[in-house]
């Protein structure tokens, strides 16, 4: 059989050893997500729920004698493909609105966002005091931070599936969710900084906190202002280019650069992608479309169709259903989830008149990947020789993330459609 | 500054540490490739040459004080993205013809392919006897094998750029190139097997060789026959699915599965992707297009626009321009390149009447990634305690690959367009 080895190497060598796995997984994800999405859509649910379910089944298949997929979910390539899916989705979501429209809801969205960050933080802190009374106040504050960020991906997808992206409640939800993502990351940074400082015995300076805040603010303001000035000029200049696909190349380049800059400014890449989408407007490449280029939203659709299911399937795969076996973990999980839900429903109180507070509150509910990332960071932080987020807390956090994420699509869809 | 660390972790944690790099590189590749492509197109060259040049500049930037990109070119994620680009390109190329049309040129293409494998092998063997007389005949045979495979990617791209995919010479070139890829991999497998057997003192059995051949043949015949029967039925059945993007999801799933099976059968994934493209025909999803789905070639275009430049830029990055500093390496490289060019131009003798033999011979010339992979495998094979392909031979092989690859686009384009 040794003669087969070089041949196998020749085959695998056409890329790397990851190529066969990724080919098979992409085939399964793209077809499985479509079929599962169709199934749940017939049950009146958004397709994204089907994709999450495919992920949960795939991620826990080893429990039922299936293959172990944990290596795949953690693999660099699969993670990057999923992350590109999230970036393209948020870029697409951003394209649906313009900076002007966002400004118009800006004040109201900011109020909703602040309520949606402060209330869950206070409730999370209270749950910590109640259920983990012996632990430090810093750990309780970290629990609060985990509840703060809204994961805009799920909500954006439901709003898109329900054809509601251009409604005023959608603009408030998406605007507030993006602000929440920024605020949540700031809160996480500050609390993590305090914990790290406490662990090393150093003091956290006000200057460092100010620097973090300044970078985030500068990035967003800079992206919106500079982008809005540059974009129409660049595309007008690009009319000199005669090759096909110029609009797609320049737009994707812009989206990827802003996502990268967001990361470098300490924010999530999806914040940059969203900003890029806000800045670009179809009118900027009118001239290109007139001479036969496909409009941007049309050329984004196939990319989204391939990569976005990878993102949601991977999010499902990260759920370990075994976490929910311990009663004490379940009790803590229930408390945390309640705090997460009530905390975001409080946004209803800040919703302007004429817009359903319930819809806005439900739209702010999902924690998704952001909550999972916060929990993961907490698991790596050490205080008094123990991780800030221990195994039980991690399982409870995962439950909270899954519950808020999976409950959002049907509840939000119901709230949008009810008379 | 330690407070910034958790924030950076929070940002990077949204995916993996590869995310920022890939975002920046994708932005650069997608925009850079478009601009360089435009530039060389104005000089009358195909856009792919510009993408290769971007890759060579990027890959050797460290020599001129730029960043070191060797880690990126070798990274799993970038390799997989490039490989997905090659798979999608060959899928697209396969879509342009049908099995029937391929059968019609099958006999003539096979004759061209056999000439295009046997002649370069004999010439490569002769170069080995001449330039490396003290080495084993097995090493000389390996040199011959390195010259055998045609890399269809470059040629397919030139033919596509020249709007010539549906001509009869294009079908002969593409058919012969695919057969060459299969034959080349078989030759490589057999010679690698003989070398491995000699190194371990074992004998290579005829049964093992027969098994290798049978697997490759069964894969291709099976894919074409089973696929042609299944495809129309599956798409007719899929008319029951109401969600958007069904054609894209099923087609990509089919393409990825066949690419995976090709790898498992010991072939290159692009052979599977090409077979998948051959089998699928637009008529199979006529019903879907009628109710508003975009035709497959339209939804493939954005995917190709994003991923195919990654493939060609990466191929350019793999070229280390420093290899060409030694005169003895340059002499060996020149001989090997001459053997490679003359060996494939011999295909002209097997070209049927009424079709330009020169065009077909030039179309068969590029070795591209296949030649590089062969050289890489040779560098890992050990005979008499030394690698079969040593540093000098490797550099010469790279020169041969680069020369045949970069000479093909302008020469082929000139041959197609000359009166």
Q: Are B55 and B312 in contact (CB under 8 A)?
A: yes
Chain A partners of B274 at a C-beta cutoff of 8 Å? none
* A76: nearest CB among B18, B23, B267: B18
Across the interface, whether the CB atoms of B80 and A15 are under 8 A apart is answered: yes
CA distance B370 to chain A (A): 7
CA distances in angstroms from A238 to A276, A284, A295, listed in the order given: 18, 11, 15
CA distance B354 to chain A (A): 33
The dihedral built from the CA positions of residue B157, B160, B164 and B166, taken in this order, carries a sign that is positive
Out of A365-379, A387-401, B154-168, B351-365, the most confident range is: B351-365
CA distance A353 to chain B (A): 35
Q: pLDDT band at residue B302, thresholds of 50, 70 and 90?
A: very high
Q: Which of A263, A268, A273 is closest to A300 using CA atoms?
A: A273
pLDDT tens for residues B238-295? 888 888 888 999 999 999 999 999 888 777 788 788 889 888 988 888 888 888 888 8
Residues B107 and B137: their CA atoms lie apart, in Å, by 32
Phi, psi (degrees; rounded to nearest 5) at A382 = -120, 130
Out of A170-179, B337-346, B396-405, the most confident range is: B337-346
| Structure token digits, residue A188 | 């996480």
pLDDT tens for residues A270-314? 878 888 988 898 888 888 888 888 889 889 999 999 999 998 898
CA distances in angstroms from B419 to B24, B120, B244, B410, listed in the order given: 44, 29, 47, 16
Q: pLDDT band at residue B203, thresholds of 50, 70 and 90?
A: low
The pLDDT assigned to B157 comes to 80
CA distance B21 to chain A (A): 8
What is the chain A residue with the closest CA to B378? Answer: A6
Buried/exposed code over A178-201 (b: 16+ C-beta within 10 A; e: otherwise):
bbbbbbbbbbbbbbbbbbbbebee
Across the interface, whether the CB atoms of B202 and A256 are under 8 A apart is answered: no
The dihedral built from the CA positions of residue A247, A248, A249 and A254, taken in this order, carries a sign that is positive
The pLDDT assigned to A408 comes to 86
Does the pLDDT value for residue A2 go beyond 70?
no
Cα B372 to chain center, whole Å?
10
pLDDT tens for residues A218-245? 888 888 888 889 888 988 888 888 888 8
Chain B partners of A40 at a C-beta cutoff of 8 Å? none
Question: Across chain B, what does the average pLDDT equal?
Answer: 82
The pLDDT assigned to A212 comes to 67
The pLDDT assigned to B345 comes to 93
A61 CB neighbour count, 10 Å cutoff: 14
Does the pLDDT value for residue A51 go beyond 50?
yes
Could you tell me which residue, B26 or B50, shows the higher pLDDT? B26
Across the interface, whether the CB atoms of B256 and A188 are under 8 A apart is answered: no
Chain A partners of B246 at a C-beta cutoff of 8 Å? 34
* A7: nearest CB among B5, B204, B266: B266
* B19: nearest CB among A83, A243, A249: A83
What is the chain B residue with the closest CA to A17? Answer: B76
- pLDDT (mean) for B233-239: 88
Across the interface, whether the CB atoms of A15 and B299 are under 8 A apart is answered: no
Across the interface, whether the CB atoms of A38 and B243 are under 8 A apart is answered: yes
Which of A296, A302, A388 is the mutation pick for testing B, counting most B CBs within 10 A?
A302
Chain A partners of B30 at a C-beta cutoff of 8 Å? 249, 252-253, 256
- pLDDT (mean) for B298-317: 89
Helical ranges in B4-69 per DSSP H? 4-12, 18-42, 47-59
Does the pLDDT value for residue A368 go beyond 70?
no
Across the interface, whether the CB atoms of B31 and A253 are under 8 A apart is answered: yes
Chain B partners of A242 at a C-beta cutoff of 8 Å? 38, 41
CB pairs under 8 A between A and B: 319
What is the chain B residue with the closest CA to A374? Answer: B10
- pLDDT (mean) for B313-332: 81
Does the pLDDT value for residue A177 go beyond 60?
yes
The pLDDT assigned to A88 comes to 93
Which of B19, B234, B237, B310 is the mutation pick for testing A, counting most A CBs within 10 A?
B19
Across the interface, whether the CB atoms of B38 and A242 are under 8 A apart is answered: yes
B375 CB neighbour count, 10 Å cutoff: 23
Across the interface, whether the CB atoms of A250 and B31 are under 8 A apart is answered: yes
Chain B partners of A288 at a C-beta cutoff of 8 Å? none
Chain A partners of B82 at a C-beta cutoff of 8 Å? 15
Does the pLDDT value for residue B341 go beyond 90?
yes
Cα atoms in the Cβ-side hemisphere of radius 13 Å centred on A82: 29
The pLDDT assigned to B9 comes to 34
The pLDDT assigned to A129 comes to 92
Chain A partners of B377 at a C-beta cutoff of 8 Å? 6, 9-10, 13
Q: Which of B311, B316, B306 is closest to B54 using CA atoms?
A: B316
- pTM given for the model: 0.81
- pLDDT (mean) for A161-180: 84
- pLDDT (mean) for B163-187: 82
pLDDT tens for residues B2-33? 332 333 333 333 345 788 889 999 999 999 99
pLDDT tens for residues B117-137? 999 999 999 999 998 888 888
Chain A partners of B388 at a C-beta cutoff of 8 Å? none
What is the chain A residue with the closest CA to B260? Answer: A20
The pLDDT assigned to A43 comes to 78
CA distance A205 to chain B (A): 9
Of chain B, the percentage scoring pLDDT greater than 70 comes to: 90
Chain B partners of A377 at a C-beta cutoff of 8 Å? 6, 9-10, 13
* B246: nearest CB among A3, A15, A34: A34
Q: Which of B71, B10, B48, B63 is closest to B407 using CA atoms?
A: B48
The pLDDT assigned to B1 comes to 29
């Amino acid at each position: 059989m040794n003669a087969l080895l070089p041949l196998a190497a020749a085959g695998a060598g056409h890329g790397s050893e990851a190529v066969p796995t990724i080919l098979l997984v992409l085939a399964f994800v793209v077809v499985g997500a479509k079929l599962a999405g169709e199934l749940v859509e017939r049950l009146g649910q958004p397709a994204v729920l089907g994709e999450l379910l495919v992920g949960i089944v795939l991620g826990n298949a080893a429990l039922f004698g299936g293959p172990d997929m944990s290596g795949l979910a953690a693999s660099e390539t699969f993670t990057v493909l999923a992350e590109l899916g999230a970036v393209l989705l948020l870029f697409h979501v951003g394209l649906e609105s313009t900076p002007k429209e966002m400004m118009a809801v800006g004040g109201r969205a900011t109020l909703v966002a602040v309520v949606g960050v402060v209330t869950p933080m206070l409730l999370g802190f209270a749950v910590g005091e109640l259920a983990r009374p012996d632990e430090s106040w810093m750990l309780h504050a970290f629990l609060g931070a985990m509840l703060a960020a809204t994961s805009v991906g799920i909500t954006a997808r439901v709003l898109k599936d329900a054809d509601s992206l251009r409604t005023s409640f959608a603009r408030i939800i998406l605007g507030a969710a993006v602000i929440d993502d920024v605020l949540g990351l700031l809160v996480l940074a500050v609390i993590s900084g305090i914990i790290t400082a406490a662990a090393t015995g150093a003091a956290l300076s006000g200057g460092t906190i100010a620097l973090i805040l300044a970078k985030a603010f500068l990035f967003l303001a800079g992206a919106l202002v500079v982008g809005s000035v540059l974009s129409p000029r660049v595309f007008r200049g690009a009319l000199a280019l005669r090759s096909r696909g110029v609009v797609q190349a320049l737009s994707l380049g812009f989206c990827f650069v802003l996502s990268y800059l967001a990361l470098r400014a300490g924010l999530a890449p999806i914040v940059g992608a969203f900003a890029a989408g806000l800045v670009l407007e179809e009118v900027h490449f009118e001239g290109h479309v007139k001479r036969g280029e496909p409009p941007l939203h049309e050329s984004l659709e196939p990319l989204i169709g391939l990569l976005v299911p990878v993102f949601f399937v991977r999010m499902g795969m990260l759920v370990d259903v075994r976490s929910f076996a311990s009663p004490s973990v379940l009790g803590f999980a229930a408390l945390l989830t309640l705090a997460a839900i009530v905390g975001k429903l409080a946004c209803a109180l800040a919703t302007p008149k004429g817009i359903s507070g319930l819809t806005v509150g439900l739209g702010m509910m999902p924690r998704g990947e952001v909550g999972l990332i916060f929990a993961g960071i907490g698991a790596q932080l050490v205080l008094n020789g123990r991780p800030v987020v221990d195994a039980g807390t991690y399982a409870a956090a995962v439950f909270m993330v899954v519950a808020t994420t999976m409950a959002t699509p049907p509840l939000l869809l119901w709230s949008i459609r009810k008379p």
